[in-house]
Amino acid sequence: MSQINVGIIGFGTVGAGAFEVLTTNREIIANRVGAEVVVTKIADLDIESDRGIPVMPPKAILTVDAMEVIHDPKIHVVVELMGGLEKAKEFILKAMENGKHVVTANKALLAEYGPEIYRAAERHGVALAFEASVGGGIPIVGALKHGLSGNRIRTCIGILNGTSNYILTKMTEEGLPFSKVVQEAVTLGYAEDPPTLDVDGTDAAHKLSIIISIAFGSPVSFKDIFREGIGAVTPDDIRFAEEFGYSIKLLAIAKDLGDRLEARVHAAMIPKDHILANVDEAFNAIYIEGDFVGPNLYYGLGAGRRPTASAVVSDIIGIARQIRSGTKGMPPPLAHVRSPAQEIVIQPIEDLVTPYYFRFSALDTPGVLSKIAGILADHKISISSVIQKGRKSGGPVPIVMLTHEARESAAQKAISLIDELDVVADKTVLIRVEGSRQ
Ligand code: HSE
């Protein structure tokens, strides 16, 4: 086959970017595939406005009707970049039914309806590729499916949401509260208005569910992943973390515990000398440990037209190569031909064992520390460091502690008892610690 025809549904930021990559790098892509890869149809409700790309597609290939792409017999690969859930799912399933291979960047769709869409791809013998759904331009899906495919994946720790990482970076650099930085980020156009799914951990959980599904071979719902956002992190916590030698990041963590899988998204303290502590601004990074390869790190821009388009086009090229070589059937979407013998069981957060950071807000009177320490001891929580700053006569002061490893259920129970003490003025802040310095 000398030409692979591509139809794009959704000509927004990423759609226009994908078109730009395919036209700008047309020759090098043709050389890599052994055939021309040509966008022959593009559907979008708006086919008039300028997309800010050097060369706009010819008017003749633009349509407002997605069905013209889905039912075009000449199109081999349908690229869904419209976003959203129900309509996107309908279009993808229809395209597969029509024998089209599908590329999507829609992590929310895969996180919500992954199993149904993966099954449809296998039933129709078509490819479903989604490199751009996790980590923007970082080729993490390809790394898990190919480069690391000889390994058991032991650990994955990701900074998977650029918006949260940008906000935490600014809070750290400027000492400003969360609400102020969010407001600035929205005004400057760095964050959506409001950036709820970015800052509450949902977007990172979507992406972690996709990583886990590929790494472990069985779809996991993002709803089963414990998630907390960064809204409760204060400049005080960032400052105290620094004094202890840590940075605060929104981490997406998956660990193979043998019979269970740890899977969680939350703000976490990591040692400043941990490689992920230095991933700042809107960058993403994913740290993976495989049983043979050891540690691997992937770093890059997790959003934006050009990086995301780069990932989308890598999927198109992968499929085009398979078509070109005449491969029968396509690899299954999660790159596991058989499901694992054991279903993935996610460990409840109550069973997590990790070190903690606590910030108590207590009156500065004799015996307060011993009352708090007593409750922690009753719950088998061992303190590793304490800082108490400032003395406000009569008013509360922060007492900040790092603990050794403790069980989450014990930590939560101890906090609820401590918060009932009459010398404690405000709710205690808990931040989980990853990669302890102890
Ligand atoms: N909103 C996401 C982020 C980018 O802030 O990282 C798209 O996945």
Q: Which residue has the higher pLDDT, 133 or 337?
A: 133
* Residue 437: predicted pLDDT: 62
Domain end among 266, 301, 336:
301
- β partners of residue 128: 102
Report the atom number in ligand 1 closest to the C-alpha of 164: 5
Is residue 195 in contact with ligand 1, taking CB distance under 6 Å?
A: no
Is residue 203 in contact with ligand 1, taking CB distance under 6 Å?
A: yes
Atom 7, ligand 1: which residue's CA is nearest? 303
| Shared-domain flag, residues 115 and 41 | yes
Tell me, what CATH number does 264's domain have?
3.30.360.10
| Shared-domain flag, residues 102 and 130 | yes
Ligand 1 centroid distance, CA of 163 (Å): 6
* Residue 417: predicted pLDDT: 98
pTM for the whole thing?
Answer: 0.95
Any domain includes 334: no
* Residue 392: predicted pLDDT: 62
Tell me, what CATH number does 422's domain have?
3.30.70.260
Q: In the predicted model, is pLDDT for residue 111 greater than 70?
A: yes
Domain end among 293, 325, 357:
325
Ligand 1 centroid distance, CA of 327 (Å): 34
| Shared-domain flag, residues 256 and 150 | yes
**What is each CA distance from 429 to 108, 138, 206, 437, in whole angstroms?**
30, 33, 26, 20
Is residue 165 in contact with ligand 1, taking CB distance under 6 Å?
A: no
| Shared-domain flag, residues 282 and 311 | no
Any domain includes 343: no
| Shared-domain flag, residues 320 and 363 | no
Confidence of residue 393 (pLDDT cuts 50, 70, 90): low
Q: Residue range 191-206: average pLDDT?
A: 95
- Give 386's Cβ-side CA count (13 Å radius): 10
* Residue 436: predicted pLDDT: 66
Report the atom number in ligand 1 closest to the C-alpha of 136: 8
Determine the residue type at 362: A
Q: In the predicted model, is pLDDT for residue 342 greater than 80?
A: no
Taking only the tens place, the pLDDT of each residue in 17-30 is: 999 999 999 999 99
Active-site annotation, residues: 207
Q: In the predicted model, is pLDDT for residue 276 greater than 90?
A: yes
Any domain includes 104: yes
* Residue 329: predicted pLDDT: 79
| Shared-domain flag, residues 175 and 219 | yes
Any domain includes 19: yes
Any domain includes 86: yes
Domain residues for the domain of 257 are 146-301
Any domain includes 342: no
Taking only the tens place, the pLDDT of each residue in 115-165 is: 999 999 999 999 999 999 999 999 999 999 999 999 999 999 999 999 999
Helical H segments across 217-360, by residue range: 235-244, 305-325
d(CA 30, CA 250): 40
Q: Residue range 81-105: average pLDDT?
A: 98
Taking only the tens place, the pLDDT of each residue in 414-430 is: 999 999 999 999 999 99
363: left (phi over 0), alpha (psi -120 to 50) or beta: beta
Confidence of residue 344 (pLDDT cuts 50, 70, 90): confident
| 387 within 8 A of 414, measured Cβ to Cβ | no
Report the atom number in ligand 1 closest to the C-alpha of 162: 6
Q: Residue range 274-288: average pLDDT?
A: 97
Confidence of residue 366 (pLDDT cuts 50, 70, 90): confident
| Shared-domain flag, residues 106 and 222 | no
Domain end among 234, 267, 301:
301
| 435 within 8 A of 274, measured Cβ to Cβ | yes
Is residue 320 in contact with ligand 1, taking CB distance under 6 Å?
A: no
Report the atom number in ligand 1 closest to the C-alpha of 303: 4
| Shared-domain flag, residues 292 and 315 | no
| Shared-domain flag, residues 185 and 286 | yes
* Residue 339: predicted pLDDT: 80
% of the chain beyond a pLDDT of 90:
89
Q: Residue range 232-249: average pLDDT?
A: 97
Q: In the predicted model, is pLDDT for residue 319 greater than 90?
A: yes
For tokens 């957060």, name the residue.
Answer: 349
| Shared-domain flag, residues 173 and 256 | yes
Ligand 1 centroid distance, CA of 81 (Å): 14
Any domain includes 119: yes
Q: In the predicted model, is pLDDT for residue 201 greater than 80?
A: yes
Any domain includes 333: no
Q: Under DSSP, is residue 19 helix (H, G, I), strand (E, B) or coil?
A: helix
Q: Could you say which DSSP state residue 67 is in?
A: H
Is residue 313 in contact with ligand 1, taking CB distance under 6 Å?
A: no
| Shared-domain flag, residues 250 and 313 | no
Ligand 1 centroid distance, CA of 365 (Å): 46
d(CA 393, CA 363): 9
Q: How many distinct structural domains can be found in the chain?
A: 3
Confidence of residue 296 (pLDDT cuts 50, 70, 90): very high
| Shared-domain flag, residues 111 and 151 | no
* Residue 135: predicted pLDDT: 97
Is residue 200 in contact with ligand 1, taking CB distance under 6 Å?
A: no
